[in-house]
Amino acid sequence: MKEKILVIVGPTAVGKTALGIKLAQRFDGEIISGDSQQVYKHLDIGTAKATADEQAQAAHHLIDVREVDETYSAFDFVTEAKAAIADISARGKLPILVGGTGLYLQSLLEGYHLGGDLDQEELLNYRKELEDLDDETLFGKIAELSIEISQLNRRRAIRALELARFGQNMENSQAPYEAMIIGLNDDRQLIYDRINQRVDVMMVEGLLDEARWLYDNYPQAQASRGIGYKELFPYFEGQQSLEEATEKLKQNTRRFAKRQLTWFRNRMTVDFYQISDPEMLSQITEKVTTFLS
C-alpha cells in the first residue's frame, strides 16, 4: 500500500508556506521543504525561508541542511526527501511537501531520479538545452534516434533523450507514494503585486546585508546563483544603482514565477486553487479529508 503524502506547489509569494502550516496543524503533519535554496544555512531572507515562529508551529525538514559553499542537486533532494517521508510516516504523521522547485518535486513523485555517479550539472545543463527547443526540433531528435514513444509529448521526449544519452547512470523506478498535489495560483497581476511587495519587505528586513555577506564570502558558490542574491551583486560592484538592482530582482522573480506555473501546469497533475477565493481553505481541507480517508 502506497504512503499518502500532500504536495503544495505554486509560484513564489503565493502563500505555500502558510497553507502548509495550516494543513500540518489540521492533519497532524510535518513539512518537507521542496525548495532548492532553502537548504542553505544563513540564507534566510532571500530564500523566503519559514521563520523561526513558523517552524515552531509545525516541524520542518530539509531546511538548513547544507553549508553555503556546498552543492545541492535533484538527486540529493530525492534521497533526503524519501528518508524524511519514511521517518514522518513511521511516526504516524502526514508528510507534506511544500515548495516551488518543480524539477525536484517531479523527480520524487515520478520515481525518476538521477544516479549518484552521474555528473549532476551535465545532466541539468542537457535538460535545459532540451527544454529550450521548440516542439518540432525536440521531436525531430526523437525521430533521428528512432526512439519509439507512445503518446509523444514534451515530457516523455525529454526523458527519453536523457535516458538515451546517459543510459545506465539514470534510475527510473515507481515511487511508493500516493500524492495529492495542491496548486496555489491567482490572477497574474495579483501574484506580481505580491512579489513586488515581498521584495520590498525583504529589503527592509535586511536582504541587502545577507546578499553582501554572500557576495563577500562565497561569490562563486552554487547558492550565489539563486534569484534573490545574484541580482544585487552588480550593485556591490558599482555597476548598478540600488534602485536598478532591486527592480531587476523584482523582474527576475516575476519571470521565475511564470516559469514555475508553466512547469506545474505542463509537467504535473495539479489541482489549482485561487488564493483570493475566501472558500479556498475550506475547499482544500475538505478535499484532503476525503483523500486521507
Question: What residue ranges do the domains of the chain occupy?
Answer: 113-172, 189-256
For residues 224 and 133, give the distance between their C-alpha atoms in angstroms, rounded to a whole number: 27
| pLDDT, tens digit (0-9, with 9 covering 90-100), for 252-293 | 999 999 999 988 998 888 999 999 999 999 999 999 999 999
Whether the predicted pLDDT of 49 surpasses 80: yes
* Sequence ranges of the binding site for substrate: 12-17
| pLDDT, tens digit (0-9, with 9 covering 90-100), for 50-97 | 999 999 999 999 999 999 999 988 778 988 999 999 999 999 999 999
* Sequence ranges of the binding site: 10-17
What element of type H or E holds 185?
Answer: strand 177-185
pLDDT at 5: 98
- Look-up of cell digits 535586511: 206
Higher-confidence position of 273 and 129: 273
Task: Give the right CATH number for 189-256 from 1.10.10.60, 3.40.50.880, 1.10.287.890, 3.30.2020.10.
Answer: 1.10.287.890
Average pLDDT of the chain?
91
* Sequence ranges of the binding site for ATP: 10-17
pTM: 0.83
227 near 252, Cβ under 8 Å? yes
Which residues sit opposite 224 in a β-bridge? Answer: none
pLDDT at 227: 95
Whether the predicted pLDDT of 28 surpasses 60: yes
